[in-house]
Structure 1
Amino acid sequence: MKDVKDLLFKELYPEDRLNPNFRNIANEKLPFARDLIKNWAEGFVDRDYKFVKEFQTTFNSSFWELYLFAALKELGFVVNFNYDRPDFVVEGDNSFLIEATIASHAKDATPEWHKNYSEEELNEWNKEKIVDNATLRLANAFIGKSRKYTDSYKKLTHVKGKPYVIAIAPFDSPYFFLQNHHAFQRVLYGIDRFIAIDWDHQSREILNMIFLEEIEKKTGSKVPLGYFTNPDHSHVSAVIFNNAATFSKVRVMSEDPRITLVQFRRFNDYGTQPFEGVVEKSVFNEHLLDGIVVFHNPYAEIPFDIEEFLHPVIGHYGFDVEKKEFMSDIPHGYIFNRHIMVMDIPEATPEQLRQYRAQLTKDNKPKDTVFPKFHN
C-alpha cells in the first residue's frame, strides 16, 4: 500500500468536489509546495482511510494535522498510530496526547478562501470584526474538543495519566491570519486587551488590563469566555495554537525560486515596537515551528510540562488566577503574522531576478514610529 505522502495529490474526485485550496496547490505547474507538504507527511499513517479524501475535499483540518505531525517530528517525538484516537498519541519518557481541530467559518459565513483584498472587503473585515468572529469560532472549537475528552477519551486506557492538549488552528474568516493571539486570550483567560502608552522605543507604561466575561452572537445569545480561569476544563492541560501555520508557511519554506514578497510582524523583546515590514523571501528566515504558542491551563489536573516545547521559537502563556495576572514568555523574533505575494515572472533571467529582489528589499524600509503611541 502506498504511503499517505504519495497519495495526497493523486486526485480522487471530480473538480467540483475538490476544496479550492487543494485545487490551487494541485494545479500548480511548479512542484515545490507539493514537495514540502509531502515531506511533512513522511511517516504519517491514515488510520481510518479517510485522510486523503478529507485532504482533497475539505483540506484545512488535514493540512493542520500534517503541520502538527511535522512539528512533532521536528521536536523529536514519536507518534504511536496504533490508537485510533486522540489524533496524536506521543510516547516516551514524557508522553502526552494531542487532539487536533480547526476553527472554521460558520455555516452561513464567508469561507476563508474567498477574499480579494479589495478596499471594500478590507474595510468590512476590520480588526474588531476579525477578532470578534475568531473569538466565537475558537470558543466553539475548544468546547467541542473539551467535551470529546469527557464524553469519550477519558475512558481509554492509553489516555489515563497523560496531559491532554487541544491543538487549534484558525481558518474562521478570509482574514483570520490577522487575529494574532487576541481572540484566544479572550477565550481562555478572559483577557480582552491592555491599555498602554509607548513613550519611546524603550519605555511602555501599562495603564490597565480589560477583561471580557462573555461575547454576544448575532442571535443575541451570550458565549462565556475565560475557560482556563475556573476548574471546569481541568482535564485540558493546554492549548497549542499557531496563527502562522498557513499555506504561506509552505511558500516561505519551500524551494520555490519565484520572487515572493513577505509582509510580516515579529515580536521585539528588546523594545516597544514590533519588527514589521515587507521583504523578499530570500532574506526572510522562517522556522517550521515559528508561530507556535502554548496556552497553559492553571487548573490542569496534569500540567503540560514537556521540556521539548521550551524551544527557542515557541511561545508560552499562563495565568495566575488569584492575582489575575497574565504571564507571557514570547521569544524575541516570534512571528505573530505573515502573508505573502508570489510574483511569477517566467521570462526573467537569474540575474534579472537577483536585481528585482535587491530593489524590492531596498524599497521597503521600516516606517518611523510617532511617539507617544497609545494602545487600547
Structure 2
Amino acid sequence: MDLYSTEYDDEKLHSYFLRLTTDKKYEPVKAVIQNWALGMDGRKGELNKFIKEFQTTFNSSLWELYLNKAFKDIGFDVDHSKESPDFCLISKTGKVVNVEAVTTNNPRNKDKSYYSSQAISESISQCDQDFLDESTIKLLGKMRDKRDLFIGKDGKKHPYSSLDHVKDKPFVIAVAPFDNHLSFTQNNIAINRVLFGIEPPKPNRRGGFVTHKIKHIVNNNGAKLELGIFTNDSYKEVSAVIFSTIGMFGKAIVQSKIDATIRGTKYRVYSIKKFLSNKRKNR
C-alpha cells in the first residue's frame, strides 16, 4: 500500500499529511506509519478509498493503521479480505472477533486554519466542563452510530449482524477522540461516563476519593442522552470497546525517535500487598 503518492492538489490534502510529505525531518515518521499499514493492501475493494481518506482527512485512517499494527503485535491474524467491519481478527486458537473502528472528529478537520496557533489556543482556553461534556456527547454519538450499523436500524440493508463471518461472533467498537486539539488529555474520563455512567473521582474530607454517578447529559438541542450504556442491555450487541487517546500523529513521532516535545504522566507504583493494605483509600 502506497500511502504517500497522491493525485490531489495541496488545497485538498490534510495539514498533517502535507507536513509528512513536505518536511524532510518527518521521513522517519513516514516509515513508521507505512509499517503500521503492512497487510492492509488486502482491502481490495476499499484500498483507494482508504488512501484518499488518509491523505485528505487523515485522523480516522491513522487510527485504523494504528489498530492494524496493534492487533498484529498482540498476535492476531487480520483477514483483510472481509471488507466489513473494519477488522476481522483471528486468534491463535482460531476464534474470530470483528472490530469496527471509528473516531470523533472536529467539523473543521479539513480546514487548514484549524491547525493554526490561534485555533489551538482557542482549544486550550475552553473550560474543563465544556470540554468534558462535548467529548462525552461525541463519543456517545459515534458508539450509537456503530451499534445502529450493526443491527441495521431504520431498515439499513446488509447490517453487520447479517454477515456470515460476524454472526454469533464478538463485535467490538474501537473508538478514538480527534474532535479537539486537547482530545489526548481526556484520558478515560469521558468514556467512563459513556460506558459506566460515572464521573471522575473527587477528593473527600477523609483524604480519599469518591465517585458520583451520572445518568444522562443534555446536548445542544436540549435532548437528554442516556449514559452508562454498559450498565444495561441497550448496547447488548457490543461485546467490548477499545478506547485510546494516544493512537495519534504524536504516537508515530515518538516511535520514529525524531527530536520532539512529548507529554508524560507520573504514576505511583504499588506492590499488591501495599495496595490491599490501603484498599479503603484506593476504593
TM range (shorter): 0.7 to 0.9
Aligned-partner Cα distance in 2 for 1:115–1:266: 30
Aligned-partner Cα distance in 2 for 1:269–1:167: 28
Unaligned runs of 5+ in 1: 272-376
Q: Alpha carbons of 1:119 and 1:15: their partners in 2 closer, same or farther (altered >3 Å)?
A: closer
Q: Which amino acid aligns with 1:76?
A: G
Equivalence map 1:197-236=2 (5 Å): 197=204, 205-206=208-209, 208-236=210-238
Aligned-partner Cα distance in 1 for 2:112–2:220: 18
Equivalence map 1:1-376=2 (5 Å): 4=1, 7-30=2-25, 31-45=27-41, 46-47=43-44, 48=46, 49-92=48-91, 93=93, 94-106=95-107, 113-114=114-115, 116=117, 121=122, 124-151=125-152, 152-197=159-204, 205-206=208-209, 208-256=210-258, 258=259, 260-270=260-270
SS at match of 2:252: helix
> How many angstroms does 1:64 deviate by?
0.4
Other-structure match for 2:277: none
Aligned-partner Cα distance in 1 for 2:188–2:173: 16
Aligned-partner Cα distance in 2 for 1:177–1:125: 15
Q: Which has the higher strand share?
A: 1
Unaligned runs of 5+ in 2: 153-158, 272-283
> How many angstroms does 1:214 deviate by?
1.2
Q: How many residues are treated as equivalent by the alignment?
A: 259
Q: Alpha carbons of 1:242 and 1:123: their partners in 2 closer, same or farther (altered >3 Å)?
A: closer
Deviation digits for residues 305-341 of structure 1, max 9, x if unmatched? Answer: xxxxxxxxxxxxxxxxxxxxxxxxxxxxxxxxxxxxx
**Sequence identity percentage:** 33
Query: 2:199, 2:214 within 8 Å by CA — same for their partners in 1?
Result: yes
Aligned-partner Cα distance in 2 for 1:79–1:228: 27
Query: 1:100, 1:168 within 8 Å by CA — same for their partners in 2?
Result: yes
TM-score (norm 1): 0.64
Q: Which amino acid aligns with 2:33?
A: I
> How many angstroms does 1:78 deviate by?
0.5
> How many angstroms does 1:114 deviate by?
3.0
Q: Which amino acid aligns with 2:130?
A: K
Query: 1:182, 1:193 within 8 Å by CA — same for their partners in 2?
Result: yes
SS at match of 1:129: helix
Q: Which amino acid aligns with 1:79?
A: V
Query: 2:108, 2:114 within 8 Å by CA — same for their partners in 1?
Result: no
SS at match of 1:191: coil
Query: 1:112, 1:176 within 8 Å by CA — same for their partners in 2?
Result: no
Q: Which amino acid aligns with 1:149?
A: F
SS at match of 1:212: coil
Query: 1:193, 1:211 within 8 Å by CA — same for their partners in 2?
Result: no
Aligned-partner Cα distance in 1 for 2:122–2:183: 13
TM-score (norm 2): 0.84
Query: 2:201, 2:212 within 8 Å by CA — same for their partners in 1?
Result: yes
Q: Which amino acid aligns with 1:21?
A: Y
User: Cα RMSD (Å) of the superposition?
Assistant: 2.5
Query: 1:51, 1:62 within 8 Å by CA — same for their partners in 2?
Result: yes
Other-structure match for 1:277: none
